[in-house]
Amino acid sequence: MAALQRTKTMLLVVFLLSFCGLGTEIALTRVFAVVLRYHFAFLAIAIALCGLGLGGYIAHWLRGKGERIIVWLTIGFAVTTLFAAWFLPAILLPNFPTAFWLAGLIALLPFLFLGMTMALLFDRYSAVSGYLYGADLLGAAAAAVGSILVLNAFGGLNALIFMAGVIFLAAAIVQLAVHNCPFASSKRSFSVSFVLASVTPTEVTAFLTCPLSATLALRWSNRCWRNLLQASRKSSQRFGTHLLGRMSLKTKAWMTCFTSTLTVKSRR
């Protein structure tokens, strides 16, 4: 029963990842048309195919890493999508407008993570590969229509950020399905991440929506928090002791200098 529930969950994950993959590819065509030239818009298609192929090739060496690697790869897909949405207009366009290879390299990273994630999912659940392929096709079909609506509503850059929010939601779903994930699973964090990932991204709140959804959806366990607090306390105590030691040395040096000055003046 648990295996069946996990399989159904992974079907939803494949649907969301396929939707975001094609949606990111379509959104990049509009971004490239502005950042580079209009005739470079279709470069996103070649980059997407190359990234998916390389990701599937790299996934061959990740087959024995366990299911928790799928969570990290999904997060990597979302983070690199956000990074591309920031780097292309903020760094590349004003500083390196003719560095087409750099734009292609940055845009390749999200599809590289997507290729690894999808390859591992199809490898781990090969018994239901037909259903996974159906979910993949349904996600692509939904993206063919939904991405147009997202682009018309939000624009190219905000569409990328919206896709990253949905990818974080997919990572939260994988987290709930994988019990040995290094994060604590909870229905509350999943519901909050769903709400935050569904919020309409705007110019001001878009970069806050996705990191918050990831933070709330993938909370550290209580044990991790205790270890983190203990480490921070120890480091703060060491820093405070070192600072007080330096202050005391400076104070002693100042008092010695002041005393010697008074002694010289009294002798005169």
In tens, the pLDDT along 144-200 reads: 999 999 999 888 889 999 999 999 999 888 888 775 444 444 444 444 444 444 443
CA–CA distance from 101 to each of 52, 90, 111 (Å)?
18, 17, 16
User: Could you tell me if 184 and 262 lie in one domain?
Assistant: no
Whether the per-residue pLDDT at 252 is higher than 90: the answer is: no
DSSP assignment of 43-94, as one string? HHHHHHHHHHHHHHHHGGGGTTS-THHHHHHHHHHHHHHHHHHHHIIIIIHH
User: Could you tell me if 233 and 204 lie in one domain?
Assistant: no
User: Could you tell me if 133 and 266 lie in one domain?
Assistant: no
Query: Do 142 and 22 contact (CB within 8 A), yes or no?
Result: no
In tens, the pLDDT along 19-63 reads: 999 999 999 988 888 877 777 777 888 999 999 999 999 998 888
User: Could you tell me if 242 and 201 lie in one domain?
Assistant: no
Q: How far apart are CA 59 and CA 43, in angstroms?
A: 24
Structural domains counted in the chain: 2
Residues 6+ apart with CB under 8 A from 204: none
User: End of a domain among 203, 219, 235?
Assistant: 219
User: Could you tell me if 249 and 197 lie in one domain?
Assistant: no
Query: Do 166 and 16 contact (CB within 8 A), yes or no?
Result: yes
Residue 224 confidence (pLDDT): 43
User: Could you tell me if 54 and 14 lie in one domain?
Assistant: yes
Q: How far apart are CA 117 and CA 124, in angstroms?
A: 11
User: Could you tell me if 245 and 141 lie in one domain?
Assistant: no
Residue 36 confidence (pLDDT): 78
Owning domain of residue 36: 2-219
155: left (phi over 0), alpha (psi -120 to 50) or beta: left
Residue 60 confidence (pLDDT): 87
268 vs 2, more confident: 2
User: Could you tell me if 183 and 268 lie in one domain?
Assistant: no
Whether the per-residue pLDDT at 109 is higher than 80: the answer is: yes
User: End of a domain among 202, 219, 236?
Assistant: 219
User: Could you tell me if 152 and 239 lie in one domain?
Assistant: no
User: Could you tell me if 129 and 239 lie in one domain?
Assistant: no
User: Could you tell me if 166 and 241 lie in one domain?
Assistant: no
Whether the per-residue pLDDT at 114 is higher than 80: the answer is: yes
User: End of a domain among 200, 219, 238?
Assistant: 219
Residue 92 confidence (pLDDT): 85
Whether the per-residue pLDDT at 210 is higher than 70: the answer is: no
Q: 187: domain CATH number? A: 1.20.1250
Residue 83 confidence (pLDDT): 93
User: Could you tell me if 24 and 83 lie in one domain?
Assistant: yes
Residue 27 confidence (pLDDT): 92
Q: How far apart are CA 143 and CA 146, in angstroms?
A: 5
Under the banding of pLDDT at 50, 70 and 90, the label for residue 203 is very low
The predicted model gives 212-230 an average pLDDT of: 45
User: Considering only CA atoms, which of 141, 119, 136, 109 is closest in space to residue 28?
Assistant: 109
State what percent of residues in the chain have pLDDT above 70.
66
